[in-house]
Amino acid sequence: MTNYLLPKILHGADYNYEQWLDYPEVHNEDFELMKKANCNVMSIGIFSWSKLEPKEGEFDFDWLDKLMDRLHENGLKAILATPTGSKPVWMSKKYPEVCRVDVNGKREPHGTRHNHCRTSPKFREKSVIINNLLANRYKNHPALLMWHVSNEYNSCECYCNHCISAFRDWLRKRYVSIENLNKAWWTTFWSHTFSDWDEIDPVDKSVHGLMIDWQRFTSDQTLDFFLTESAPLRNITPQIPITTNFMKPDVGLDYWAFAPYVDIISWDSYPTWHREEKNWEEAVKTGFYHDLFRSMKEKPFMLMESSPNVTNWQGVSIPKRDNMHLLSSLQAIAHGSDTVQYFQWRQSRGGEEKFHGAVVTHGGTENGRVFKGVKQVGEALNKINSVCGSSSRTEVAIMYDFQNEWAIAHSQFARNEEKNYQKTCISHYESFWKMGIGCDIKDFSCKDLTKYKIVVAPMVYMVRDGIDEVFKEFVKKGGILVITYLSGYVDESDLCFLGGSPGPLKELLGITVEDSEILNDFNKQSLIWNGENYNTSHFSERVHLTTAKVIAKFGDGVLNELPGITENEYGLGKTFFIASRNDQNLTDLFYGKLCNKNKLPEGISIVERFSGENRYIFVMNFNSESTEVNLEIDGLSELLTEKKEKNKITLEPFGVRVFKQ
Amino acid sequence: MTNYLLPKILHGADYNYEQWLDYPEVHNEDFELMKKANCNVMSIGIFSWSKLEPKEGEFDFDWLDKLMDRLHENGLKAILATPTGSKPVWMSKKYPEVCRVDVNGKREPHGTRHNHCRTSPKFREKSVIINNLLANRYKNHPALLMWHVSNEYNSCECYCNHCISAFRDWLRKRYVSIENLNKAWWTTFWSHTFSDWDEIDPVDKSVHGLMIDWQRFTSDQTLDFFLTESAPLRNITPQIPITTNFMKPDVGLDYWAFAPYVDIISWDSYPTWHREEKNWEEAVKTGFYHDLFRSMKEKPFMLMESSPNVTNWQGVSIPKRDNMHLLSSLQAIAHGSDTVQYFQWRQSRGGEEKFHGAVVTHGGTENGRVFKGVKQVGEALNKINSVCGSSSRTEVAIMYDFQNEWAIAHSQFARNEEKNYQKTCISHYESFWKMGIGCDIKDFSCKDLTKYKIVVAPMVYMVRDGIDEVFKEFVKKGGILVITYLSGYVDESDLCFLGGSPGPLKELLGITVEDSEILNDFNKQSLIWNGENYNTSHFSERVHLTTAKVIAKFGDGVLNELPGITENEYGLGKTFFIASRNDQNLTDLFYGKLCNKNKLPEGISIVERFSGENRYIFVMNFNSESTEVNLEIDGLSELLTEKKEKNKITLEPFGVRVFKQ
Amino acid sequence: MTNYLLPKILHGADYNYEQWLDYPEVHNEDFELMKKANCNVMSIGIFSWSKLEPKEGEFDFDWLDKLMDRLHENGLKAILATPTGSKPVWMSKKYPEVCRVDVNGKREPHGTRHNHCRTSPKFREKSVIINNLLANRYKNHPALLMWHVSNEYNSCECYCNHCISAFRDWLRKRYVSIENLNKAWWTTFWSHTFSDWDEIDPVDKSVHGLMIDWQRFTSDQTLDFFLTESAPLRNITPQIPITTNFMKPDVGLDYWAFAPYVDIISWDSYPTWHREEKNWEEAVKTGFYHDLFRSMKEKPFMLMESSPNVTNWQGVSIPKRDNMHLLSSLQAIAHGSDTVQYFQWRQSRGGEEKFHGAVVTHGGTENGRVFKGVKQVGEALNKINSVCGSSSRTEVAIMYDFQNEWAIAHSQFARNEEKNYQKTCISHYESFWKMGIGCDIKDFSCKDLTKYKIVVAPMVYMVRDGIDEVFKEFVKKGGILVITYLSGYVDESDLCFLGGSPGPLKELLGITVEDSEILNDFNKQSLIWNGENYNTSHFSERVHLTTAKVIAKFGDGVLNELPGITENEYGLGKTFFIASRNDQNLTDLFYGKLCNKNKLPEGISIVERFSGENRYIFVMNFNSESTEVNLEIDGLSELLTEKKEKNKITLEPFGVRVFKQ
């Protein structure tokens, strides 16, 4: 299989054709407008179960046949969804077991979406039946490009007997004996010792080992459901790639465990542009997410959903201004997406999402601002189709681990406000973003980091799955590893390391940590770098040296004169330990020195993709003002404008350029 | 029937005589003090069910007989309540069906008040029995002035089987077929299609059509309960007027639907005076509410409850200062009330409301500040009895619609913070208040607006019940209609208009709306009026002209140079469209120009009532400082002080004057 | 029995030996470190039920035998806990009745701790069995110093049928007839009259009399459970003292009712040091709590738990800085504790509290900051062992009543924000703290106050249990009584006094109160004292004089010129009434004048203990800066440093000195 689906960038949207069966004129208009918008793909069938199976066992594919044919006739491809994102009302009424049970033991009524029990045998049976029918019916249809399995799986919990029983089985597999489980969960605390598997109940929210395992089980069980409902697709259409659309992390699913089982990673990206004066901070976060999803398979991913304008589920969603729609679409491409897709093609007439942004608004003409913006993106994509399948080449990895995030969220520290694990990972990523240095994002299931030069691992609270050994191997072979406070606290069962933190990372870092120092506004503390003092906040640690040396000291506060940043030689490489949460300026300076590189002008992002000899340089301005950038591009052609550019270019507000070398 | 109950203004209170049956000395003191306070009416029997029927089928009217007689002996009239506001404990225990079921399916335990199931056959049966007995017993009693049915009906929901079944019947009547319902509710969205009426469950909070219909049903069912429990009163005492006390809008009941079935509108007004530096803003809001309730029947209404001092259910309730009690009481009269009544006569010894303000405090003497204030009001009312039955004469109507408010509340927009429908209606009303121009408040069930010169309709999100045709007829015949952003979005099923907003109002307004522009603090935008820039906020719209002309443009921001206010000729009249939420100063200037009138001094309100040749001019100062006003009243007598006044008068802090012409 | 347990101050911690049965090397290290830390006692067995009785009726005391022996061998004493703080999982599963039922009728699942049903016959039976076995097994063990019954009883409610039935019995005893109950609860209000005991249901949260009685019942039932589970200990080991550890007031238990049944008061103190710039404000509050627990038996108490470093259940917990650990430990001693004990000895490896501060951290060495601090406290305590059993001698009592606090919390006033009863009591206490004047804290069950010179009683809302007569007797005999606004409102059933406030205190105070004046930021009011104006806030009252005279007037606002502070001669003594919540400066000035004494330097606390001829003077600096103090100690020896001191000493930041005279 090549690195891409089609030899061009996909451009399309969720198309809810079935909502408009009474409006043939709307269908006609849709296909006219799709051409005008330069679309080549539509995601269809999401939430269509009650149309496909209006009564139990009575199926109606007629409308879907027509839709598939019409897409094909119009030169569009179909990303065909399985309909399990929302179950029909008749199913909830006849088989209550398909509805989840909440933490209070209450069976949820029919309503909303994305809320089936993952374990329910009946729901699995019904899902397999419908998916089988879909796969058999369309296996040879020329429009069928790809499977879109269900929609935005979540981790909302179900406490029904099926799920609790499956959880106990999952635990039996993991721990073999109840004694092992008691030890791993430290159940002597508060007298929670179990004498039988059947005593274990996930509603007990006071055993941290249980809590993290329940969250792992929920993620695993969701994956298991995905595999169950995908089996007919794999069997009947082995040639058709499968994806399921992920969401903004962290929703409580360990997407890394899903990655091997999907052919292409796809995700739904809904940044909140224009909410803050510094729009580029949202761009940093969005870039981090794109890079995370690209890194999962180290292959191009799909931007499966995005809004061409606003969302309707936030307190305030500002319409995309000026060139923002093009800019944000190309940002996804720059970070490795080979698609730009929207939710949704046309605004619904009714229901909760009728005012969500869409390509075609209720006004429905091609002359509107939003439609024109989409059309413009389509034209732009046509000019850069050659990036398809290209990849990044980066020497830096940022470690960001879902299970670590869950464990940090559960744990009760001296400071429970602003734990901010993900935010901290992004703040380290930000320093590289500002220098135009690409990063991969990796998690602790990673088995080899040796292809990187620099690995940054903030707040490695839970050392799981041998990541300590992977770190050692990496440094031994010459890598540079940066680790921070709150690292090496617990093992994969959330049990503290005897001997204290940083646990199994002590030798690697050449330090021991005596205890945490917690700060609030009345407890100032600073770190000295190059003679200047920089504020630290929230968390810091009292560090003692074993083999490391100090490269920055605290400048006041209770840690005055104690080590703030340490450096340790290890094998052919070295490690750094950062003992406090530092001012962003200091973080930038630290990585600037490490990489020996300067920052780009504020708000400017430069991201590259590579393909054989080719190099694509995306230059993006996330400022609402024109901004000048110096580049080494003398004589290169710019793909969008096809102009030759000099080394100094000026980007208009929210402007973007793509150079090919 | 005349326009009034008695040829004088009613002055009285809720009197909970039955709480003091063990304290005859308190009863004696009460009747002494009622005279001193210049009271002529008492509301009695509210919440007295457990005294009237202490055990099932065992009735005790003895105490009520005595109370009725004693009122009569003392020259007081009775507003006699049906006791359904609170059910006896024995009833909840024996017939659990009388208690509501919450959204989680849990039957509510006995407790608090106002929480019976509206549909329960048993509760209806018991209510009819007790009301029959009351009507028969007192039908000829000379003290009986009026019926006070139940107390403060609310819209808190009941999800019992009786209610759900009644809801399905209500839907059957509305939609006839399940297909119609599916179309109206756009149930294809998220696969919520119903194949049977019995599948419909109001706990599903993801179908907007269902949600608005459930709210309508709840309101209708409350009215139905009211009609059921009132039937014995209508039958047995056809000559005795009936009311039920409404509350501050919007509590979720469509009071307009109740209005035809009560003889007199009454409501309970609890403004929060002295909470903000600009007390007059509270006066504007209170004036709006008074005008709303007056407009329902275009007849004098009753101020059924108000506090002579504080409330006890707010975070902070400031005691009425200085002349505020007289001022706020006469404000109600000015806007059309023919009564000033209090909750309550005497503070209870125990229970949740024992510290609520009352005419007689626990200290219980006539020398207190509060009692003196009440007495002063009684004296003042005696001087202006001639206003009884008089009405307003206004040429302006503000449209404020409950169902529209509910629909806006449910809907998910790009901006969900500060939707502020009611507040926006009041901000337009405020401009007229400041000029001393009286307004009626009308809702979308109104069938004729042609008696007005100006109609103002902010945020007509849901165009229901033919209001678009009423608007057209009004303008055709020469009216001036002002409409704002967020208008013409959906029909009565909350389905968006095909072709976009303002839907069926396009021709009338001579514009189309392309989409919404949402603002937050970082996204400034202004409108230019007369060369000056005025801020806009929260919501605005991108408007295109068809037949309208621009009378004000946006001055910066993304809508720069686009239409901000448009004007369109239509028939003999014209329409204005205001595309953004504007600074109050600009709203004032707009209506000032439209009416060609100046503002009164800040904090001054002038309101008039008319009766034949007579005109009553209420001049009110809501400032805590003395304020000077210019009036055309040379030589008129003032009713309260009986002094002749010149055209320039000075009102003391919170002062009030009533002139008769 | 002497006034103390051992002729030395106890120093120790909760020791969870049973969590480490798999780690014999940890046990060995523990006993080494206990010696080094100068510990002489350990609290053991808390939460150990599942270790003691791993299956129903199968007991294992082996590990506890070993622990007891080892403590003895190492010269340590045991404070042995009954294990009822947390029930084993098997018990919840086999006997669901041991789990509480929440207010919605839902049986709580097994989880957390401290959540057994107090009434459950099965839980009582199981508790008595295990406690019997413990008492019999260890009755003659030389290590057994004391019983620690259960752990931190709370008042979280249980609505199971056993509890509701017990509540009805409790009510029958209190009211004898349902008529009496109806009158006491004023049930005519909102028609809540009961005709049968079985109709009474504590889920009804709208009857204030019921609510306060339900809270009293919950407290009484907890005491009843305590007595039940303690009976075997009393019977089998009558010579061994019993305590149960109280918590920071107010947790909803009336600890005064418990006091007669424990031999020594103990409590768990967790101040939040370093959270605010003025650390000494936390010291005032902590001093108040210590004094409260000392006052309960007017004997030395035990500091049963405290953290040697941080907690882990707050948003932010700052590690103890500098000398704070010694200072806060000696503050407890100064106020009457004869122990300094910690939660806990060693940080757990797992579970919710694994990051709570402990003497031995996960790092586990004796060289850490925290361990050294504990060791330092141990050394200091050894130098002041002679204070053991000594007591305070004070002439001032502050009245602070739990039931009054509950009643104020339930009541609905004109102002419901910042009622702040406890905070107000502490603000009056603060004035004495600043002058170095010791106070007892007493509640309204107190029968004699005549040993005091000054009694301060803020916000005596509920006059219960004859406290009005105790006040009168006290003043008659020459005492000075200070009472404030919000006093004399209701009797013990929460029924307002007829005739208004201050009810039965009118004659004593020589005033009547007409009504409350409520203030917010827009309603300024001040009191004039010595020609200066001081702000008042939140609450004030309109006072009329009968026999009292005015000593301070209001200086502006609606109460301008009315009495602000009054003084009344009564018998040989006199009373003061303070009509408003005043600026702390004014409160300080008032008590300064009353006591004719100056304030100490800011942040300095001086507290004394007496024993025969001996006087111990604790001088404490709660500032983070060095502070100078003038003392009359010329030539006295200081116990910690053994230096002779002059009258002027300088304390280092968070410094402490103990002088013996």
- Which residue in the set B106, B355, B369 is minimally distant from C514, CB to CB? B369
Average pLDDT for C573-584: 98
Helix residue ranges, H only, B490-618: 506-509, 584-595
B625: left (phi over 0), alpha (psi -120 to 50) or beta: beta
Nearest-Cα residue of chain B relative to residue C204 = B111
**C7: confidence class by pLDDT, cuts 50, 70, 90:** confident
Whether B348 sits inside 8 A of C186 (CB atoms) is yes
What are C539-572's pLDDT values in tens digits? 999 999 999 999 999 998 899 999 999 999 999 9
- Give the three-state DSSP class for C429: helix
Interface of B with C in 44-63 (CB under 8 A): 47-51, 54-55
Whether C185 sits inside 8 A of B350 (CB atoms) is yes
Q: Give catalytic residues of B, as residue numbers.
A: 152, 305
Query: Residue A332 class from Cβ within 10 Å (0-12 exposed, 13-18 middle, 19+ buried)?
Result: buried
Q: Which of C102, C31, C24, C18 is nearest to C60 (CA)?
A: C18
The DSSP symbol for B171 reads H
Nearest-Cα residue of chain A relative to residue B499 = A363
Q: Which of B460, B481, B489 is nearest to B573 (CA)?
A: B481
Whether B112 sits inside 8 A of C515 (CB atoms) is no
Note if the pTM is more than 0.90: yes
Answer for the pair B401, B443: CB distance below 8 angstroms, yes or no. Answer: yes
Structure tokens at B587: 């709203």
Sign of the dihedral defined by the CA atoms of residues B116, B118, B122, B124, in that order: positive
Using CB atoms, which chains have 3+ pairs under 8 A with B?
A: A, C
- Which residue in the set B205, B207, B518 is minimally distant from A317, CB to CB? B518
Which residues are within 8 A (CB) of B596 and not within 5 positions of it... i.e. 6 or more apart? none
pLDDT > 70 in chain B, percent: 100
Q: Write the ipTM.
A: 0.96
* Strands, E assignment, C504-613: 511-518, 526-529, 532-545, 549-553, 563-570, 573-578, 580-582, 604-611
Reply yes or no on whether the pLDDT at C3 is more than 70.
no
Reply yes or no on whether the pLDDT at B633 is more than 90.
no
| C103 reaches A (C-beta below 8 A) | no
| Mean pLDDT, chain A cut into blocks of 10 residues (661 residues total) | 78 98 97 97 98 98 98 98 97 98 96 96 98 98 98 97 98 98 97 96 95 98 98 98 97 98 98 91 98 97 97 94 94 98 97 96 89 97 96 95 98 96 98 98 98 98 97 98 98 96 98 95 90 96 98 94 98 98 98 98 98 94 96 88 89 96 88
Answer for the pair B304, B11: CB distance below 8 angstroms, yes or no. Answer: no
Q: Are strands C41-44 and C77-81 parallel, antiparallel or unpaired?
A: parallel
Average pLDDT of chain C? Answer: 96
Distance separating alpha carbons of residues C658 and C661, to the nearest angstrom: 10
Whether A351 sits inside 8 A of B207 (CB atoms) is yes
Distance separating alpha carbons of residues C40 and C590, to the nearest angstrom: 45
Q: Which of B278, B287, B299, B364 is nearest to B327 (CA)?
A: B287
Q: Which of B92, B147, B153, B151 is nearest to B118 (CA)?
A: B153
Distance separating alpha carbons of residues A301 and A293, to the nearest angstrom: 7
Average pLDDT for B355-361: 97
Interface of B with A in 494-523 (CB under 8 A): 494-501, 512-520, 522-523
* Strands, E assignment, B49-202: 77-81, 144-148
Query: B621 forms bridges with which residues in the sheet?
Result: B604
Between the CA atoms of C459, C462, C466 and C471, what dihedral angle is there, to the nearest 10 degrees?
10
C492 to A126, A461, A624, C403: CA distances (angstroms)? 64, 54, 67, 9
Structure tokens at C471: 């006040």
Between the CA atoms of A535, A541, A547 and A550, what dihedral angle is there, to the nearest 10 degrees?
10
Number of H helices, E strands in chain C: 17, 26
Distance separating alpha carbons of residues B516 and B502, to the nearest angstrom: 12
Distance separating alpha carbons of residues B200 and B194, to the nearest angstrom: 7
Reply yes or no on whether the pLDDT at B6 is more than 90.
no
Least Cα separation, residue B138 to chain C (angstroms) = 21
Hey, of B102, B186, B513, B515, which one would you mutate to test binding to chain A, going by the most A CBs within 10 A of its CB? B515
- Least-confidence region, from A309-323, B579-593, C11-25, C145-159: A309-323
Residues in chain C within 8 Å Cβ distance of B279? none
Distance separating alpha carbons of residues A307 and A320, to the nearest angstrom: 9
Answer for the pair A340, A381: CB distance below 8 angstroms, yes or no. Answer: yes
What are B486-500's pLDDT values in tens digits? 999 999 999 999 999
Sign of the dihedral defined by the CA atoms of residues C410, C412, C417, C423, in that order: negative
pLDDT > 90 in chain B, percent: 93
| Domains in chain A with CATH codes | 10-160+220-387 (3.20.20.80), 396-582 (3.40.50.880), 604-660 (2.60.40.1180)
Answer for the pair C82, C127: CB distance below 8 angstroms, yes or no. Answer: yes
Reply yes or no on whether the pLDDT at C81 is more than 50.
yes
Q: Give catalytic residues of C, as residue numbers.
A: 152, 305
Size of interface A-C (CB pairs under 8 A): 172
Return the exposure string of B128-143: e unless at least 16 CB atoms fall within 10 Å of the residue's CB, then b.
Answer: bebbeebbebbeebeb
Q: Give catalytic residues of A, as residue numbers.
A: 152, 305
pLDDT of residue B3: 62
Answer for the pair C523, C559: CB distance below 8 angstroms, yes or no. Answer: no
| B427 reaches C (C-beta below 8 A) | no
Distance separating alpha carbons of residues A338 and A332, to the nearest angstrom: 8
The DSSP symbol for C273 reads T
What are C133-179's pLDDT values in tens digits? 999 999 999 999 999 999 999 999 999 999 999 999 999 999 999 99
Hey, of C107, C352, C370, C371, which one would you mutate to test binding to chain A, going by the most A CBs within 10 A of its CB? C352
Reply yes or no on whether the pLDDT at C531 is more than 60.
yes
Nearest-Cα residue of chain A relative to residue C16 = A189
pLDDT of residue C1: 44
- Give the three-state DSSP class for B157: coil
Backbone angles phi, psi at B283, to 5 degrees: -65, -35
Reply yes or no on whether the pLDDT at C2 is more than 60.
no
Answer for the pair B603, B643: CB distance below 8 angstroms, yes or no. Answer: no
pLDDT of residue B521: 80
- Give the three-state DSSP class for B397: strand
pLDDT of residue B578: 98
pLDDT of residue A1: 44
Answer for the pair A541, A502: CB distance below 8 angstroms, yes or no. Answer: no
Q: Is-cis flag, bond preceding C322, omega within 30? A: no
Answer for the pair B218, B159: CB distance below 8 angstroms, yes or no. Answer: no
Answer for the pair B423, B539: CB distance below 8 angstroms, yes or no. Answer: no
Whether C203 sits inside 8 A of B109 (CB atoms) is yes
Nearest-Cα residue of chain C relative to residue A486 = C355
Answer for the pair A623, A277: CB distance below 8 angstroms, yes or no. Answer: no
Reply yes or no on whether the pLDDT at C589 is more than 50.
yes
Sheet bearing C549-553, strands edge to edge? C440-442, C396-399, C454-457, C480-484, C573-578, C563-570, C549-553
Q: Which of C658, C653, C599 is nearest to C621 (CA)?
A: C653
Q: Which of C234, C206, C83 is nearest to C148 (CA)?
A: C83
Structure tokens at A132: 């089988």
Reply yes or no on whether the pLDDT at B1 is more than 60.
no
Q: Which of B366, B380, B316, B295 is nearest to B9 (CA)?
A: B380
Using CB atoms, which chains have 3+ pairs under 8 A with A?
A: B, C
| C183 reaches B (C-beta below 8 A) | yes
| A413 reaches C (C-beta below 8 A) | yes
Distance separating alpha carbons of residues A212 and A493, to the nearest angstrom: 8
Hey, of B91, B316, B353, which one would you mutate to test binding to chain C, going by the most C CBs within 10 A of its CB? B316
Hey, of C102, C318, C323, which one would you mutate to test binding to chain A, going by the most A CBs within 10 A of its CB? C318
